[in-house]
Amino acid sequence: MDQVKSSGTVTHINDQGSRHLSQEAIEKLIQQSQEAKQHAYCPYSKFRVGAALLTMDNTVFRGCNVENACYNLGVCAERNAISKAVSEGYRSFKAIAISSDLKDQFISPCGGCRQFIREFGLNCDVYLSKPDGSHRKMTVDELLPVSFGPEELDMKKVFSSP
């Protein structure tokens, strides 16, 4: 059976499946993103967003959006969650769930967050959710088709002479 246990800010979802999550694990990941949303600091937009990122060893890192009076310095929930995981040594992820207060539409990551998620591979499932817990599963490739990633930096290049 899946369960969630929390130790401080790090949570674990025990899922019996490998890469494919059980329905119960998906629901718990979405719940974690909704809980993260409660901590959003968004005095300007009043648009709360939460994210919950699931690592390959079933550790969950949560993030929320943090705005700034200098608007372009704000940080999205997805980037916060990923940065927390990376700062703890994680580089591979199973899934990320995103939540907001949008009632009639699934929340989708902004373009910058799509690229940020893409940085760590195309195999991460992305769960777009609504406050009632309903969700839509998408792949990174669906969200960011014909994407640019770290692999392109290693490809053969043509250099012109000066």
Is residue 78 among the annotated active site residues? yes
For the record, the structure tokens of 38 come out as 């409660």
Q: What's the confidence (pLDDT) of residue 102? A: 97
Q: Which of 106, 35, 49, 43 is nearest to 79 (CA)?
A: 49
Within the chain, which residues score under 70 in pLDDT?
A: 1-10, 14-18, 160-162
The model's pLDDT over 8-37, given as tens digits with 9 standing for 90+, comes to 556 777 666 557 899 999 999 999 999 999
* Residue 58, burial from CB neighbour count under 10 angstroms (0-12, 13-18, 19+): middle
Q: What's the confidence (pLDDT) of residue 160? A: 64
Tell me if 48 sits within 8 A of 42, measured CB to CB.
yes
Q: What's the confidence (pLDDT) of residue 161? A: 61
49: three-class secondary structure by DSSP: strand
The response to whether 110 counts as a known ligand-binding position is yes
Q: What's the confidence (pLDDT) of residue 127? A: 98
The response to whether 41 counts as a known ligand-binding position is no
* DSSP conformational letter for 41: B
Q: What's the confidence (pLDDT) of residue 16? A: 61
Q: What's the confidence (pLDDT) of residue 112? A: 96
Catalytic residue among 24, 27, 35, 78: 78
The response to whether 88 counts as a known ligand-binding position is no
In terms of DSSP bridges, do strands 93-100 and 125-129 run parallel, antiparallel, or are they unpaired? parallel
